[in-house]
Structure 1
Amino acid sequence: MTDIKTLMACIDLSDYSPMTLGYAFDLAQQGDIKVFICSVIPLREATPVFMTGTIYHCREDTKEYLDELKEKRETQINELIMERFPQFINKTEIHISMGHPADEILNMVERIGPDLVVMANKGRSNLSSFMLGSSAEYVFRYCTAPLLSVRDKHIFKRMYSGKATPEARKIRIIMAAVDFSPWSPAILDKAGWLAKISGAKLHVVNCISTKEISWVKSHYIPENTFDLELFLLKEKQRRHDLLADQIKTAGLSSTDGIEISIDSGVPYEQILSVSQDLGADILVLGPKGRSRSARFSLGSTIEKIFRHSPVPVLRLGPDIIH
């Protein structure tokens, strides 16, 4: 079982930052993990200084001003830690940069090389509707490290505009979605590690997709003899046995209370439905499904889950099978 030794928490001092730090510090405390805090000052905060200096020459030393911005941001982060997580003051490494948030976060991931990135599904804009192409989605899509996208399921809505502050919640139930792709062993490994350090129950799920059922039905021999009920009964048992073997191979046999469930339907809809029925606190997914494309690009199922899941989503990195 692969342990995580370093973690990078991305915060912007929005309402979502205490929740992000809450998850990061809770994992760090339970797993003896070193925490790096990443914060990006958007260019829009510095652009007026450059423009004013260009037009009026009233402040030539823009570098001094930018350094002041970075120092102020670091002070604010330390104040937040002192207020909400005093046991971690002076126990983290803070990195402040300036630029486009998504690009800077991805650059920091490459420089620091964390085993896990923790980031909220929303940021400073606190938009009432979820915008596709946002920094959060961009990082989720292109980050090469495993990424935990945190959100508060108690107040999560795509059109949420309330005033409640998101909070980190205790991890009691972990749901790992496995599709027998090359990523599946790593999904079980990371989910097992998370269950081990958090003391949570682990639930492993698989979905027989409607596309697979349609393909089998159209190619069934003899023709017109396909029995859906009988097929699902046998296929669910076959997949249950396969998952049990993979769980054993992953070294999770000794983990208490592992449950397996096999469903059928549209994968992302079933995964979200089961997570709601279980009351899951975290979903663990691969970076994509069965596609063997050499180019890293998230599968549509993963992206839909990111956009619609009310619970945190841990998406593994693309290099987990190399």
Structure 2
Amino acid sequence: MKRILVPTDFSEHAEDALKVAAQIAKKNNAEIILLHMLELPHQMSDAITGGASIPETMLFMKKANETLDEISNRPYLDDIEVLEIVKMDKPIHGITQISQEYGVDLIVMGSHGSSGIDELLIGSNTEKVVRNSETPILVIKKDISNFSASNIVFASDFSEETKQPFEKLLKFSKLFDSKLHLVNICTPNSFKPTHEAEHTIKKFVSEFGLTNYETYIYNDTNIEKGIINFSNSINADVIAMCTHGRTGFAHFFNGSISEGLVNHAVKPVLTFKI
């Protein structure tokens, strides 16, 4: 792991993510890219296009750069190479572009989560990035002074399409010498006999030569609740999931378990796009 991208809006949640990124960077001698997306009001963007309001734009840029400088000098970032970037763009576009341009290995983002009407109509920038990013994303929901990934839950249906994302998880787990807890959540709407579920997981595992792992079948009313309840029951450090990156009407009607976990789980959530 060479580069970790941390988008920041200068909030407390973004700082929680940066503190975790710093711990990972020190463990792996990685560089941190600290990115602030400057999303100007529409009226100012229109004015800039017309050649006006340049002083106002420069003022926003100057203030953002000053704040990044201040953050980069925090003690927990000592001995870490930090690259500061201020970019004018919508968050999802800018984060994706920077991630690709700099060959980022991991994005670490903070999230306050959302629920109810806010979740339905608005969603969070973190949720949108999770839906679209090809780069693995670690979502942090609270201040973690001593980040650990000793026990990682990987919840999956263990289908063929999850094999490639799982290989990325294996690379991440090797950095922390993690034990993997592979779980299939069984619900009334996705019922599968135990012997079938066990056979699917056993066949999946046999292709990777795993040693430090356990497998489970866990029953609950729905998949999201099952993942959260199971993770709590074994005191997991991180929840890992694949996301399909649904958009448009498919996303509206089907939703996404990964995005639901980003909103509702307290534990860190690590996502890999299929």
User: Which range, TM-score by smaller chain?
Assistant: 0.7 to 0.9
Q: Which residue of 2 aligns with 1:260?
A: 215
Could you list the per-position Cα deviations for residues 272-306 of structure 1 after superposition, in whole angstroms to 9, with x for gaps in the alignment? 110111222211111239x9x9x996863223222
Which residue of 2 is the match for residue 161 of structure 1? Answer: none
Q: Tell me, what secondary structure is at the counterpart of 2:24?
A: helix
User: Is 1:19 the equivalent of 2:19?
Assistant: no
Normalization by structure 2: what TM-score?
A: 0.80
2:261 aligned partner: 305
Query: Which of 1, 5, 8 is the matching residue for 2:5?
Result: 8
Query: Which amino acid is 1:93 matched to?
Result: L
Query: Within the alignment, does 1:189 sit opposite 2:167 as a pair?
Result: yes
**Cα-to-partner distance string for 1:69-118 (whole Å, 9 max, x where unaligned):** 323322222322322424246x1221101243334323433433423221
Say whether the 8 Å CA contact 1:176–1:187 is kept in structure 2.
no
Give the counterpart letter for 1:35 in structure 2.
I
Letter in 2 for 1:131: D
Q: Secondary structure of 2:12's partner?
A: coil
Match of 2:57 in 1: 66
Residue 131 of structure 1 corresponds to 118
| Seq. identity, % | 21
- Once residues 251 and 71 of structure 1 are traced to their aligned partners in structure 2, the CA distance between those partners, rounded to angstroms, is 52
Query: Quick one: structure 1 residues 211 and 130, their matched pair in 2 at CA, closer, same or farther if it must change by over 3 Å?
Result: closer
Indicate conservation of the 8 Å contact 2:72/2:82, yes or no.
no
Map of 2:147 onto structure 1: 170
Change (3 A) 1:175 1:130: farther
In structure 2, what is the equivalent of residue 92 of structure 1? 82
Question: Which amino acid counterpart does residue 118 of structure 2 have in structure 1?
Answer: M
Q: How far apart are the structure 2 equivalents of 1:284 and 1:182?
A: 17
Give the conservation status (yes or no) of the 8 Å contact 1:117–1:146.
Answer: yes
Q: 1:276 is aligned with what amino acid?
A: N
Deviation at 1:262, TM superposition (A): 1.4
Return the offset for 1:13: 0.9
Specify which structure has the higher proportion of helix: 2
Aligned residue pairs: how many?
265
CA separation in 2, counterparts of 1:75 and 1:299? 39
> Which residue is 2:110 aligned to?
120
One-letter identity of the residue aligned with 1:67: M
Q: What corresponds to 2:236 in structure 1?
A: 280
The 8 Å contact of residues 244 and 273 in structure 2, kept in 1 or not, is answered as no
Match of 1:235 among 176, 193, 196: 196
SS at match of 2:86: strand
Does the 8 Å contact 1:284/1:313 carry over to 2? Answer: yes
Q: One-letter code of the match for 2:11?
A: S
Structure 2 gap segments, 5+ residues each: none
- CA change 1:81–1:147 in 2 (3 A) is same
- Letter of the structure 2 residue corresponding to residue 98 of structure 1: M
